[in-house]
Protein backbone atom coordinates (compact mmCIF):
# COMPACT_ATOMS: atom_id res chain seq x y z
CA UNK A 1 0.00 0.00 0.00
CA UNK A 2 1.25 3.46 -0.89
CA UNK A 3 2.21 5.55 2.12
CA UNK A 4 0.50 8.91 1.66
CA UNK A 5 1.29 11.38 4.40
CA UNK A 6 -0.39 14.63 5.31
CA UNK A 7 1.25 17.42 7.31
CA UNK A 8 -1.56 19.83 8.23
CA UNK A 9 -1.22 23.25 9.81
CA UNK A 10 -2.09 26.91 9.69
CA UNK A 11 1.38 27.94 8.47
CA UNK A 12 0.74 31.62 9.24
CA UNK A 13 3.54 31.88 8.18
CA UNK A 14 5.63 28.79 7.55
CA UNK A 15 8.71 28.76 9.82
CA UNK A 16 12.03 26.95 9.66
CA UNK A 17 10.56 24.57 12.27
CA UNK A 18 7.82 23.54 9.83
CA UNK A 19 10.33 23.27 6.98
CA UNK A 20 12.48 20.97 9.07
CA UNK A 21 9.50 18.63 9.65
CA UNK A 22 8.60 18.79 5.94
CA UNK A 23 12.13 17.94 4.82
CA UNK A 24 12.45 15.04 7.23
CA UNK A 25 9.06 13.56 6.39
CA UNK A 26 9.41 13.97 2.64
CA UNK A 27 12.06 11.25 2.77
CA UNK A 28 9.97 8.83 4.79
CA UNK A 29 6.84 8.33 2.69
CA UNK A 30 5.79 7.76 -0.92
CA UNK A 31 3.92 11.02 -1.09
CA UNK A 32 3.70 14.06 1.16
CA UNK A 33 0.84 16.55 1.15
CA UNK A 34 1.18 19.83 3.01
CA UNK A 35 -2.36 20.74 4.03
CA UNK A 36 -3.18 24.35 4.81
CA UNK A 37 -6.27 24.83 6.98
CA UNK A 38 -8.34 27.34 5.06
CA UNK A 39 -8.66 30.70 6.81
CA UNK A 40 -12.15 31.21 8.18
CA UNK A 41 -13.82 34.55 7.48
CA UNK A 42 -13.28 35.54 11.11
CA UNK A 43 -9.67 34.44 11.03
CA UNK A 44 -7.01 36.78 12.35
CA UNK A 45 -4.42 35.27 10.05
CA UNK A 46 -1.79 37.63 8.65
CA UNK A 47 -1.55 35.79 5.36
CA UNK A 48 -4.22 34.73 2.88
CA UNK A 49 -4.46 31.11 1.75
CA UNK A 50 -2.92 32.11 -1.59
CA UNK A 51 0.01 33.88 0.05
CA UNK A 52 0.67 30.82 2.21
CA UNK A 53 0.69 28.56 -0.85
CA UNK A 54 3.06 30.91 -2.69
CA UNK A 55 5.50 31.09 0.22
CA UNK A 56 5.55 27.29 0.66
CA UNK A 57 5.89 26.75 -3.09
CA UNK A 58 8.92 29.06 -3.23
CA UNK A 59 10.56 27.13 -0.40
CA UNK A 60 9.87 23.68 -1.90
CA UNK A 61 11.34 24.80 -5.20
CA UNK A 62 14.44 26.33 -3.64
CA UNK A 63 15.08 23.35 -1.38
CA UNK A 64 14.20 20.74 -4.00
CA UNK A 65 11.59 19.13 -1.77
CA UNK A 66 8.92 16.97 -3.39
CA UNK A 67 5.53 17.62 -1.83
CA UNK A 68 2.06 18.74 -2.82
CA UNK A 69 0.38 21.78 -1.28
CA UNK A 70 -3.37 21.77 -0.75
CA UNK A 71 -5.80 24.09 1.00
CA UNK A 72 -8.66 22.41 2.79
CA UNK A 73 -11.58 23.21 5.04
CA UNK A 74 -14.04 21.16 7.00
CA UNK A 75 -13.06 18.08 8.91
CA UNK A 76 -9.48 16.94 8.62
CA UNK A 77 -10.62 13.31 8.39
CA UNK A 78 -12.84 14.07 5.39
CA UNK A 79 -9.91 15.61 3.59
CA UNK A 80 -7.72 12.64 4.51
CA UNK A 81 -10.31 10.23 3.16
CA UNK A 82 -10.63 12.17 -0.09
CA UNK A 83 -6.86 12.24 -0.62
CA UNK A 84 -6.30 8.61 0.48
CA UNK A 85 -4.04 9.76 3.30
CA UNK A 86 -2.99 6.98 5.66
CA UNK A 87 -0.36 8.82 7.69
CA UNK A 88 -0.82 12.01 9.66
CA UNK A 89 2.33 13.93 10.52
CA UNK A 90 2.62 16.25 13.47
CA UNK A 91 5.57 18.02 14.99
CA UNK A 92 6.21 17.90 18.72
CA UNK A 93 8.03 20.76 20.35
CA UNK A 94 8.12 21.24 24.10
CA UNK A 95 6.01 19.21 26.50
CA UNK A 96 3.28 21.83 26.11
CA UNK A 97 2.48 20.52 22.60
CA UNK A 98 1.93 17.00 23.85
CA UNK A 99 -1.48 17.37 25.43
CA UNK A 100 -2.94 19.30 22.51
CA UNK A 101 -1.44 16.94 19.95
CA UNK A 102 -2.75 13.88 21.77
CA UNK A 103 -6.23 15.40 21.87
CA UNK A 104 -5.95 16.34 18.19
CA UNK A 105 -4.95 12.87 17.02
CA UNK A 106 -7.37 10.96 19.26
CA UNK A 107 -10.29 13.13 18.21
CA UNK A 108 -9.44 12.60 14.57
CA UNK A 109 -9.07 8.85 15.15
CA UNK A 110 -12.59 8.78 16.56
CA UNK A 111 -13.97 10.65 13.55
CA UNK A 112 -11.89 8.83 10.95
CA UNK A 113 -13.53 7.21 7.94
CA UNK A 114 -10.44 5.16 7.13
CA UNK A 115 -7.46 3.79 9.02
CA UNK A 116 -4.49 6.03 9.62
CA UNK A 117 -1.48 6.28 11.87
CA UNK A 118 -0.11 9.46 13.39
CA UNK A 119 3.63 9.96 13.21
CA UNK A 120 5.09 12.50 15.61
CA UNK A 121 8.42 13.97 14.66
CA UNK A 122 10.28 15.69 17.44
CA UNK A 123 11.28 19.25 16.68
CA UNK A 124 14.95 19.78 16.05
CA UNK A 125 16.72 21.31 19.04
CA UNK A 126 17.24 24.72 17.42
CA UNK A 127 13.53 25.07 16.60
CA UNK A 128 12.08 23.70 19.83
CA UNK A 129 10.55 27.00 20.88
CA UNK A 130 9.78 28.38 17.45
CA UNK A 131 6.17 29.15 16.54
CA UNK A 132 4.39 31.25 13.92
CA UNK A 133 2.95 33.53 16.60
CA UNK A 134 6.38 34.20 18.03
CA UNK A 135 7.66 35.05 14.57
CA UNK A 136 4.84 37.60 14.11
CA UNK A 137 5.66 39.13 17.49
CA UNK A 138 9.32 39.52 16.49
CA UNK A 139 8.27 41.02 13.13
CA UNK A 140 5.99 43.57 14.83
CA UNK A 141 8.90 44.67 16.98
CA UNK A 142 11.27 44.83 14.00
CA UNK A 143 13.50 42.05 15.30
CA UNK A 144 15.88 39.95 13.23
CA UNK A 145 13.82 37.19 11.62
CA UNK A 146 16.56 35.38 9.73
CA UNK A 147 16.95 32.58 12.25
CA UNK A 148 13.22 31.79 12.26
CA UNK A 149 12.04 32.03 8.65
CA UNK A 150 13.43 31.88 5.12
CA UNK A 151 14.22 35.07 3.18
CA UNK A 152 11.05 35.05 1.08
CA UNK A 153 8.89 34.77 4.22
CA UNK A 154 10.93 37.42 6.00
CA UNK A 155 10.32 39.86 3.14
CA UNK A 156 6.57 39.27 3.25
CA UNK A 157 6.47 39.66 7.04
CA UNK A 158 8.27 43.01 6.81
CA UNK A 159 5.83 44.09 4.06
CA UNK A 160 2.87 43.28 6.32
CA UNK A 161 4.31 45.21 9.24
CA UNK A 162 5.06 48.22 7.08
CA UNK A 163 1.56 48.35 5.60
P1 LIG B 1 -1.59 24.81 14.14
O2 LIG B 1 -1.89 26.29 14.15
O3 LIG B 1 -2.67 23.94 13.64
O4 LIG B 1 -0.89 24.32 15.40
P5 LIG B 1 0.94 25.09 12.93
O6 LIG B 1 1.14 25.53 11.54
O7 LIG B 1 1.35 26.05 14.01
O8 LIG B 1 -0.54 24.67 13.00
O9 LIG B 1 1.69 23.73 13.20
C10 LIG B 1 1.45 22.57 12.45
C11 LIG B 1 2.23 21.42 13.05
O12 LIG B 1 3.62 21.75 13.04
C13 LIG B 1 1.89 21.09 14.50
O14 LIG B 1 1.98 19.69 14.66
C15 LIG B 1 2.98 21.76 15.28
O16 LIG B 1 3.22 21.12 16.51
C17 LIG B 1 4.16 21.60 14.34
N18 LIG B 1 5.19 22.63 14.55
C19 LIG B 1 5.02 23.96 14.60
N20 LIG B 1 6.20 24.60 14.82
C21 LIG B 1 7.15 23.63 14.91
C22 LIG B 1 8.57 23.64 15.17
N23 LIG B 1 9.22 24.76 15.41
N24 LIG B 1 9.20 22.45 15.16
C25 LIG B 1 8.51 21.32 14.95
N26 LIG B 1 7.19 21.23 14.73
C27 LIG B 1 6.51 22.36 14.72
Digit-coded pLDDT (tens) for 101-154: 999 999 999 999 889 999 999 999 999 999 999 999 999 999 999 999 999 999
Q: Is 6 in the pocket of ligand 1 (CB under 6 A)?
A: no
Which pLDDT belongs to residue 80? Answer: 97
Digit-coded pLDDT (tens) for 59-77: 999 999 999 999 999 999 9
Q: Per the annotation, does 100 bind a ligand?
A: no
Which mutation among 35, 45, 91, 153 tests ligand 1's pocket best, with the greatest number of atoms within 8 A of CB? 91
The alpha carbon of 11 and the centre of ligand 1 are apart by a number of angstroms equal to: 8
For residues 71 and 33, the answer to whether their CB atoms sit within 8 Å is no
Which pLDDT belongs to residue 137? Answer: 97
Report the nearest atom of ligand 1 relative to the CA of 92.
16
Whose CA is closest to 86, among 62, 119, 60? 119
Q: Domains, the chain, ranges and CATH?
A: 4-162 (3.40.50.620)
The pTM for the full model equals 0.94
Q: Per the annotation, does 76 bind a ligand?
A: yes
Q: Is 130 in the pocket of ligand 1 (CB under 6 A)?
A: yes
For residues 32 and 66, the answer to whether their CB atoms sit within 8 Å is yes
Percent of the chain at pLDDT exceeding 90:
91
Active site residues: 18, 42, 93, 132
Which pLDDT belongs to residue 75? Answer: 94
Amino acid sequence: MEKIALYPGSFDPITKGHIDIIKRSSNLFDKLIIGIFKNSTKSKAWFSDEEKVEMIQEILKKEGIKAEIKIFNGLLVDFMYKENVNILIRGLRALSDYEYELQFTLTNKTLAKSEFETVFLTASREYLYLSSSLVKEVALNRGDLSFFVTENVERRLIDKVEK
